[in-house]
Structure 1
Amino acid sequence: MRPRVPWMNEVDDAILEFLDEADVDDQPIALKPGAVHYNLVEEFEMVDKSLSTFSRKMARLAKNGYLEKTEEGKGSPYKITDKGRAYLAGELDADNIE
């Protein structure tokens, strides 16, 4: 099991896993919180959280290096980072997780 910090929960994992699997030709794609929310809640029914929860979670994941914001401004797209992929693979030591 991969280590988590107290602010992370199943929503964080679902967001990271979705963006990790959403590569195109081995390149990470960037999606806005609304698109991630729609796919995880409406299409796949994986988690039952609000769009504002997804927006907050994605901003915090970006602040801590797991996602990268691709533009400035509210509602901008995010893509997964190498750190986000390392977290999913269980390659981060608990001491390296913020």
Structure 2
Amino acid sequence: MAIIFIDAQLATGSRLREEHRAARAADERKSDRNRAEQRENEADRERNLAAEARERQAESLECIRQAAVLSARVQLDPSDTNRARLQTFLNLLSQTAPVDPDL
């Protein structure tokens, strides 16, 4: 009878260890998936930041282009109208552009 009891305890212990191993493996897989998802989210954030930076750069380049066009108009035709357009544009730029403390 004692042998049967010991055998049953060994079998129970073996099953419990196997269940514990399976649970640990499932936790590791879940942890791996979470890390992969975090890396994916970080990559998405980086792509979004890069896209926003490209948009800001394009907007800045457009402002520079507009300023160059207006400046050229004043140089080619220094009329009061062209000077007023350039001055208005420069005023708008100074109101909307962030102030760079180094300038």
Answer yes or no: same fold by TM over 0.5: no
Rg larger in structure: 2
TM-score (norm 1): 0.24
Bigger RCO of structures 1 and 2 (CA < 8 A, at least 6 apart) = 1
More helix by share: 2
